[in-house]
C-alpha cells in the first residue's frame, strides 16, 4: 500500500538513506530537515505517516510530536519516532506524547519498512469495514451502501472505491498517480486521465445532495476531499 511518508530528519545522509529505501518500497516522500519546515509543509499536504527524528535543531522531535497529536487537523497522522540507541526513557516519553511507534538508530531499511507497514495497517481505515461519514455523506463498506443525507447514492465499483479512499484520507491532496496506485492498484495500462473520468462520474452521482462540492480539484496537484472551501 503506497503512502506519502514525511521524513523529518536533520542529518542529510540518514534523510537520503531513508528516502531512497522508502521510494524503493513504493512510497512518496516529503523530506523536511526541521520541525518548523515540516509544519509549513503539512499545511499544504497531509502525509499518511510521519517519521520523526528525536534530536532536531530548533523544535525537538518530541515537541513536534506533541504538536501534531494536539491539533485536530493532524492528530490522526501516525508518527514513528527515530531515537538513538538505548534511550529507554525517551521511548516511554515518545509513546506518552502519542507517537505510534519508535525505531532505534541505527536501523536496517527492512526493519523500518516493516514498522511502517505495521503502523499503516493498524491506522489505515480503508482496510477496515468501518462506516465512514463526512458532512452527511455516509459510506458503509460492508453493505456497499452510500447515502447523502440518508438518500441513497448509486455508484459504480470504481467510484465506490475512489470515494472510500477519499473519505478515509480526507483533507489531503492526492495526485493522479497516487490515486491510481491506491484505488486501481498496479494496473499497468490505466492512464492518468482515467482518474479524471471517474472523478467526473463520482461528482455527478453526488450532485443531488450537493456532496459533489466535497471533491475538489487542486490545480497542478490532483484531487482532495475536503469540507473546507
Task: State which residue, 19 or 173, has the beta carbon closest to Ca ion.
Answer: 19
Task: State which residue, 82 or 173, has the beta carbon closest to Ca ion.
Answer: 82
Task: State which residue, 53 or 159, has the beta carbon closest to Ca ion.
Answer: 53
Tell me how far, at minimum, the Cβ of 87 lies from Ca ion, in Å: 13
Tell me how far, at minimum, the Cβ of 57 lies from Ca ion, in Å: 8
Tell me how far, at minimum, the Cβ of 63 lies from Ca ion, in Å: 14
Tell me how far, at minimum, the Cβ of 101 lies from Ca ion, in Å: 18
Q: Which of residues 146-205 bind Ca ion (CB under 5 A)?
A: none
Q: Is 10 in the site for Ca ion (CB under 5 A)?
A: yes
Q: Is 1 in the site for Ca ion (CB under 5 A)?
A: no
For 44, 59, 89, 113, 221, the CA distances from 75, given in Å and listed in that order, are 16, 18, 23, 22, 24
Tell me how far, at minimum, the Cβ of 14 lies from Ca ion, in Å: 8
Tell me how far, at minimum, the Cβ of 11 lies from Ca ion, in Å: 5
**Residue number, nearest CB to Ca ion:** 55
Q: Which stretch binds Ca ion (CB under 5 A): 5-13, 84-92, 113-121, 192-200?
A: 5-13
Q: Is 87 in the site for Ca ion (CB under 5 A)?
A: no
If one counts every other C-beta atom within 10 angstroms of the C-beta of residue 9, the result is 24
Q: Please state the three-class secondary structure of the chain as a single string.
A: CCCEEEEECCCHHHHHHHHHHHHHCCCEEEEECCHHHHHHHHHHCCCCEEEEECCCCCCCHHHHHHHHHHCCCCCCCCEEEEECCCCHHHHHHHHHCCCCEEEECCCCHHHHHHHHHHHHHHHCHHHCCCCEEECCEEEECCCCEEEECCEEECCCHHHHHHHHHHHHCCCCCECHHHHHHHHHCCCCCCCHHHHHHHHHHHHHHHHHHCHHHHEEEECCCEEEECCCC
Q: Which of residues 47-66 bind Ca ion (CB under 5 A)?
A: 53, 55
Under rule CB under 5 A, how many of the chain's residues touch Ca ion? 3
Q: Which stretch binds Ca ion (CB under 5 A): 9-17, 62-70, 108-116, 165-173?
A: 9-17
Which residues form the interface with Ca ion (CB under 5 A)? 10, 53, 55
Amino acid at each position: 500500500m503506497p503512502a506519502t511518508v514525511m521524513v523529518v530528519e536533520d542529518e542529510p545522509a540518514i534523510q537520503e538513506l531513508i528516502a531512497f529505501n522508502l521510494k524503493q518500497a513504493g512510497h512518496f516522500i516529503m523530506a523536511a530537515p526541521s520541525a518548523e519546515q515540516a509544519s509549513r509543509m503539512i499545511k499544504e499536504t497531509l502525509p499518511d505517516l510521519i517519521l520523526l527524528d528525536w534530536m532536531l535543531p530548533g523544535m525537538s522531535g518530541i515537541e513536534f510530536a506533541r504538536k501534531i497529536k494536539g491539533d485536530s487537523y493532524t492528530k490522526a497522522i501516525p508518527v514513528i519516532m527515530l531515537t538513538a540507541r538505548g534511550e529507554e526513557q525517551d521511548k516511554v516519553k515518545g509513546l506518552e506524547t502519542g507517537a505510534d511507534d519508535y525505531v532505534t538508530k541505527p536501523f536496517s531499511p527492512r526493519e523500518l519498512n516493516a514498522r511502517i507497514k505495521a503502523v499503516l495497517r493498524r491506522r489505515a481505515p480503508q482496510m477496515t469495514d468501518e462506516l465512514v461519514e463526512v458532512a452527511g455523506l455516509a459510506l458503509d463498506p460492508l453493505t456497499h451502501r452510500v447515502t447523502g443525507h440518508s438518500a441513497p447514492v448509486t455508484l459504480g465499483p470504481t467510484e465506490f472505491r475512489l470515494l472510500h479512499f477519499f473519505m478515509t484520507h480526507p483533507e489531503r491532496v492526492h495526485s493522479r498517480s497516487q490515486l491510481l496506485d491506491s484505488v486501481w492498484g498496479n494496473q499497468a495500462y490505466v492512464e492518468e486521465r482515467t482518474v479524471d473520468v471517474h472523478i467526473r462520474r463520482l461528482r455527478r452521482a453526488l450532485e443531488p445532495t450537493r456532496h459533489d462540492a466535497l471533491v475538489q480539484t487542486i490545480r497542478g496537484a490532483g484531487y482532495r476531499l475536503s469540507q473546507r472551501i
